[in-house]
Amino acid sequence: MKKIQSFLLIVVLLFLPVMTFAQKGSFPEIKQLQSPQNPRLGFVIHGGAGVIRRGDLSPEKEKAYRAKLEEALLAGYRALQNGKTSLDAVQTAINILEDSPLFNAGKGAVFTADGKNELDASIMDGKTLMAGAVAGLHHIKNPITLARAVMEKSPHVMMVGDGAEKFAKEQNIELVDEKYFFTQPRWDSLQKILKEEKEKSKEVQSPKPKVQNLNNESRLLEMMTETQKLAENKFGTVGAVALDKDGNLAAGTSTGGMTNKKFGRVGDAPVIGAGTYADNKTCATSATGWGEYFIRLGVARDISALMEYRALPIQQAVDMEMNKVKTLGGDGGVIAIDRFGNIGISFNSEGMYRAYINSEGKPVVEIYKN
Ligand code: ASP
């Protein structure tokens, strides 16, 4: 009898840890190292990735970009220092960038093929996994504000076009005349592309012998030039990721999309999991670049998954994901922050407007690759 009792005791002792682990789920619980007593704030923003080479910008223009990025960065960071949430910081910074004609979001949005401005945005709360997204807007001054209202004041995640604008009116969110979004440089970019397209179609109608006799290599070169042109037509999207004093993460992205995009085209910026994602367990990410590729790879959610399932550090996760984008033929970049305040920045374009608060609490603004 005594022998049976000791046997049973040994069995119970052996299986106890296994049973406890099984109750908690198949993954060990992640320790929450953040605590309100020892807060670590974190903030990163971007103003789009693209063909931005040293020397391309005039000194005045570069100064203007740097100043606006720093203004938005510090406004968001100050919000965090004043005890505001990561969502507040993200919205604050993006509102500032949306109001600037320098960036392809809000006021500085690019034009569609039919000469309109169509804006998209999204925001996500890493604590609750709640998210809000809007697309195809023509009259909303600050699309990120409407995205947040969709998240907080509606039962939905995504609203588009006229319906989204109707909801904005109900929520007393500022609408503006379409003319508000007109900026000469963006208009000129569209006209330039339309002119090039027209010339190209004329060439197709009466092809020059030179074009007819293209060998494989020249054809490849032509295709590469086309790709390069597409890549040049889109940058300036804005985004922000933040970690607040309570250890909560948030991400947001706002854009006018791509110059000469077809009416109704929606990119990655308002697609949760592609252009924007936040999860307190892993990280918050905002993307910019050739949206179609970011949608196909589910970039922002994939970065979170790389950290969750493969325990990759944030910089490795963003680099690995941007490699996938490159392999597929896309370009752009991402900013990300994890729940400890570690930052990950990666891009495969010539440059990316970006700014962050470094580990000493100082603002850093960068534009070029090196
Ligand atoms: N990702 C945006 C889009 O495809 C464009 C950009 O980030 O420049 O709409």
**Per-residue model confidence as pLDDT tens digits over 241-274:** 999 999 999 999 999 999 999 989 999 999 999 9
- The Cα 77–Cα 341 span in angstroms is 13
Give the whole-angstrom CA distance, residue 257 versus residue 278.
21
208 CA to centre of ligand 1 in angstroms:
35
Position 166 pLDDT exceeds 70: yes
For residue 288, give the ligand 1 atom closest to its CA.
Answer: 7
Element (H, E) at 233: none
> Is 237 among the residues known to form the active site?
yes
The alpha carbon of 27 and the centre of ligand 1 are apart by a number of angstroms equal to 35
Binding site membership of 331 for ligand 1 (Cβ less than 6 Å): no
What is the mean predicted confidence (pLDDT) over 143-169?
98
Mean pLDDT value of segment 116-141: 98
Q: Which amino acid is at 246?
A: D
User: What percent of the chain clears pLDDT 70, i.e. is strictly above it?
Assistant: 81
What distance in angstroms lies between residue 130's CA and the mean position of ligand 1's atoms?
23
- The answer to whether 269 and 253 have CB atoms below 8 angstroms apart is yes
Q: How far is the CA of 267 from the centre of ligand 1 (A)?
A: 6
Band of pLDDT at residue 31, cut at 50, 70 and 90: very low
Q: Looking at per-residue confidence, does 200 or 171 come out higher?
A: 171
> So what's the pLDDT on residue 136?
98
Whether the predicted pLDDT of 219 surpasses 80 = no
Please indicate whether residue 254, judged by its CB atom, sits closer than 6 Å to ligand 1. no
Average pLDDT, the chain: 87
Identify the CATH class of 42-181+233-368. alpha beta
Provide the pLDDT for residue 269.
Answer: 98
**CA 46/CA 149 separation, integer angstroms:** 22
pLDDT of 348 > 80? The answer is: yes
Residue of 189, 234, 259, 286 best suited for mutating to test ligand 1, as the one with most atoms within 8 Å of CB: 234
> Is 80 exceeded by the pLDDT of residue 30?
no
Question: Which pLDDT value is given to residue 32?
Answer: 38
289 lines ligand 1 (CB under 6 A): yes
Mean per-residue pLDDT, 83-89: 98
53 versus 353: which is more confidently predicted? 353
Q: What pLDDT, on the 0 to 100 scale, is given for residue 197?
A: 87
Q: Could you tell me if the CB of 47 is within 6 A of ligand 1?
A: no
CA–CA dist 42, 337 (Å, integer): 7
d(CA 189, CA 138): 19
Strand pairing class (363-368; 343-347): unpaired
Rounded Cα distance, 265 and 191, in Å? 19
> 3-state DSSP helix/strand/coil percent for the chain, to nearest 5?
45, 20, 35
DSSP string covering 167-198 = HHHHTT--B--GGGG--HHHHHHHHHHHHHHH
Q: Using 50, 70 and 90 to split pLDDT, how confident is the model at 229?
A: very low
Between residues 28 and 275, which one has the greater pLDDT? Answer: 275
Going from N- to C-terminal start, the domains of the chain cover 42-181+233-368
Express as a percent the part of the chain with pLDDT over 90.
75
What's the gap in Å between 298 CA and the centre of ligand 1? 14
pLDDT category at 8 given cuts 50, 70, 90 is low
Single out the catalytic residue among 85, 145, 237, 276.
237
Kindly state if the Cβ of 258 falls inside 6 Å of ligand 1.
yes
